[in-house]
Amino acid sequence: MNKGVLYGVGAYVLWGFFPIYWKLLHEVPALQVIGHRISWSFILLAVYILVAKQWQEFRSVAFKPKTIAIYSIAAVLLSFNWLIYVWGVNAGFIVETSLGYFINPLLSVLLGVVFLRERLRPMQWIPVGLAAIGVIYLTFIYGRPPWIALSLAFTFGFYGFVKKLSPLGSLYGLTLETGILFPLALIYIAMVGLNGSGAFLQNGTLVDVFLIGAGLVTTIPLLMFASAAKQIPLTVVGLLQFIAPTLQFLIGVFLYKEPFDLAHFIGFAIVWTALIIFAVESYLANRASIQPIPELGEG
């Protein structure tokens, strides 16, 4: 199996179980959780680069105005995606967050069409239209646009697009992204600590361990995703993304018992149908493209 596909599968399986981890920090404000995610991720990555004696190489390729500009955009998209997701999980919207990542594969395909001039086959437009219908239907069911889902889909979709165009490898790229955000995160953590509202070192050893561990559980799947995004087409990335939202959806409904009635099921079913059509069509098209060309005389 292609190494990029393996990295992608691994990343999405780990992301699929994220709700359980962030629920362990439900008493910590989401912004503080994100501050620690950024800080500990950067520290972990910087230590690794230093120990591997790659710091000089990292500086030479990363500290360029154009590179910093690209990764600043990626860093902003990533931080908003993290914040929305952690808040959504701990506010009891795991099912809606999963919808965002169900939508995201089709959005990734559209980004490839619009910005990378990738072409969709006629049958691929059907699931895109169905997904739009599903979102509109759920807007009426929720009584509002599913803004959590849409925000997650757009921030992560554009993040994946930026990573596709980025010049650095996965390790250096993620280090630069978290490094750009690190000063702001550190200042924020210090401020909430000084005014007495900080969770770190105040809510027990277990909370501290989970906040520090946020760097590890964040870094591993993101490095895997960044590597996958560089090695495989956006269309394949979109297909692999089915894994994470499926796990998240099941966790939200069956583990945390979030509301999910028939009306919600219909809306999700429309989106799921779109994804199934898209997956089957892509599989058949890829299978046809790799079949050997018949030699002369073959029937």
**Torsion 45-46-51-56 (CA) sign:** positive
pLDDT band at 26 (very low <50, low <70, confident <90, very high): very high
**pLDDT at 184 (0 to 100):** 96
The helix (run of H) or strand (run of E) holding residue 80 is: helix 65-90
**pLDDT at 287 (0 to 100):** 66
Q: How many residues does the chain have?
A: 299
Distances (CA, A) of 145 to 92, 108, 286: 17, 20, 35
Each residue's pLDDT tens digit, 228-273: 877 777 667 666 777 888 999 999 999 999 989 999 999 999 989 9
| Both tokens assigned to 101 | 């990542």
Each residue's pLDDT tens digit, 173-218: 889 999 999 999 999 999 999 998 888 888 789 999 999 999 999 8
**Three-class SS state of 1:** coil
Q: Is the pLDDT of residue 2 over 80?
A: no
pLDDT band at 293 (very low <50, low <70, confident <90, very high): very low
**pLDDT at 277 (0 to 100):** 87
Chain center to CA of 234: 13
Each residue's pLDDT tens digit, 112-163: 787 777 777 777 788 888 888 988 899 888 888 899 999 999 998 898 888 8
pTM: 0.84
What burial letters (b/e) apply to 116-127, b meaning 16+ CB within 10 Å? eeeebeeebeeb
The single-letter code of the amino acid at 33 is V
Q: Is the pLDDT of residue 289 over 50?
A: yes
pLDDT band at 45 (very low <50, low <70, confident <90, very high): very high
Residue among 121, 133, 96 nearest 235 (CA)? 121
